[in-house]
Structure formats: C-alpha cells, structure tokens
Structure 1
Amino acid sequence: MARKMIVGSTFYFVIGVVMGMAMSMTENYTLSPVHAHINLLGWVSLALGGLMYHQFPDAARSRLGKWHFWLHMLGIPLMMAGLACMLLTGSTVFVALVSVGGVCVVVGTILFSINAVRHVL
C-alpha cells in the first residue's frame, strides 16, 4: 500500500506542476483551485499517507488502508474533473461530480484517520 500511494502521489505531482507551468505561461489562472487541490490532495496527502503506511505496515495491510487508498484515488479525479468543468464552463451541471468525488475523498480521509488511531503506536 505504501508503494502504491507514493507512486500514485508522483502522478498527481507531475499533473500539478505541469498545470502550474501552463497557467504561468498562458497567464490564465482559471484552474488555480484545481491545481491547488491536485497538489494538496494528490501529491502531499497521498505521499504522506504512503510514508505512514511504510512506517506502520499493519495499517497498510488493513482493510481501512485499502479503502482509504481506493476512495482517494477515485475521488480526486472525479472531483477535479468536475471542478475544472465548472470553472471553465460556469455551469453547475458538474456539481454532482464534484460532490461525489469530494465525498469519496472525505470518507477516505476519515478512514485514514481511524486507521492511524488503530495502528500507529
């Protein structure tokens, strides 16, 4: 689980950095919220979770750890795609996508916290 999360986080790191560079080059910062969320939820949160799972293998092997990983990996793309579409089109049609993705990330984060309480020292 630790490896999956750390490797997954690097994917989001690349996306976030490329987005930041593209926004700077075009001087169009419409997608700044998407850029920030990809970096924080994708790169930072997944990397830190992976480091915790590396340090505490029982947490990584637990069902909570697996659920946390998959909810996070499903939720981020859904939420970011919906948010990007909303920002670019101004349409609220994509609120459901943002909401479903957001709920996945929040539930995954809660499971991560419970997992930490149970398995970290």
Structure 2
Amino acid sequence: MRSISTVFFITAAVFALAGMAWGIQMSASHDHSLSPAHGHLNLIGFVAMSVFGTYYALSPRAAESGLAKVHYLVATASVVVLVPGIVFAITDRGEILAQIGSVLAVLTMALFLVVVLRHGIERGSRAVAAE
C-alpha cells in the first residue's frame, strides 16, 4: 500500500496535468471565461495537495493516523466537487456544487490544522509540538 504522502503527491500531479491541459485548451480557444475554476484546480488540486503530501512525508506518525486518510478523502472530494461547481456557477447552471465544494475546502483546511496541532512536525525520533 502506498503511503498517504505518496497518494497526495500522485493526486496533486494528476490535478496539475488536468489544469495544464485545461489551460492550453483555454489559450487555444481564446476563451478564458472558466479561468476561476482552472485557478482553483491548480491552487487546491496541485498546490494544497502538494503541501499536504509534504507535511505527511515529514511527519510519519501523522501520516499513519486515521485522520490523514479522512483528510485525503475530503481534500480530493473538495476539488472534484468545487471545480465543476465553479464551472456551473459561471455558466449559470446553479451554485450548489460550488457551495458544497467550498465547505469541503474549508473542512479540508480545518482537518489539516487539527492534524498539525495534534502531531506537530517530527524531527528525528522526536515530535516537535506545534508552537
């Protein structure tokens, strides 16, 4: 089984590739009307997921916690729901997915805060509590 940090990094890379392809498509079509959704895909899908993966790589005890797996699932769900939700909102097809995705994104960050407060960052064999 892959470590949670590896799973975060793999997912981040998939989201980054999707964001890059979408950016190329927008550039080729000269239609940037969906750029807010594209930006959220890159920011939450790639940047935040990479930050989370880095934290878990540096904090093995946190990575082994059940909360880390929940964090991954909520983080992935937030991107999968929020990005299409923003597209729907921009194209006047409703805002409910964007609203749900936004709540999931906030929950993702709140879970990250709980994990960091609970586990800190490990250095060598001892954990350094969050200060």
TM-score, normalised relative to structure 1 = 0.91
Which one-letter code corresponds to 1:118 in the other structure? R
Q: Provide runs of 4+ in structure 1 moved above 3 Å.
A: none
Q: Secondary structure, in 3 states, of the residue corresponding to 2:80? A: helix
2:57 is matched with 54
Higher relative strand content: 2
2:101 is matched with 101
2:18 is matched with 15
Unaligned runs of 5+ in 1: none
Which one-letter code corresponds to 2:36 in the other structure? P
| Greater RCO, CA 8 A, separation 6+ | 1
1:26 is matched with 29
CA–CA distance in 2 between the matches of 1:66 and 1:98? 23
Q: CA deviation at 1:102?
A: 1.5
Q: CA deviation at 1:63?
A: 2.3
2:119 is matched with 119
Count of residues paired in the alignment? 118
Matched, 1:71 2:85: no
Larger radius of gyration: 2
CA RMSD of aligned residues (A): 1.1
Q: CA deviation at 1:59?
A: 1.1
CA–CA distance in 1 between the matches of 2:108 and 2:66? 12
**Cα offsets for 1:30-56 (capped at 9, x unmatched):** 110011100000001101110110110
Unaligned runs of 5+ in 2: 121-127
Report which stretch shifted further, 23-32 or 99-108.
99-108
Q: CA deviation at 1:68?
A: 1.2
Q: CA deviation at 1:19?
A: 1.1
TM-score, normalised relative to structure 2 = 0.85
**Cα offsets for 1:2-50 (capped at 9, x unmatched):** 0110000001000111111111111100110011100000001101110
Q: Is the 8 A contact 1:9 1:47 kept in 2?
A: yes
Paired-residue identity, %: 26
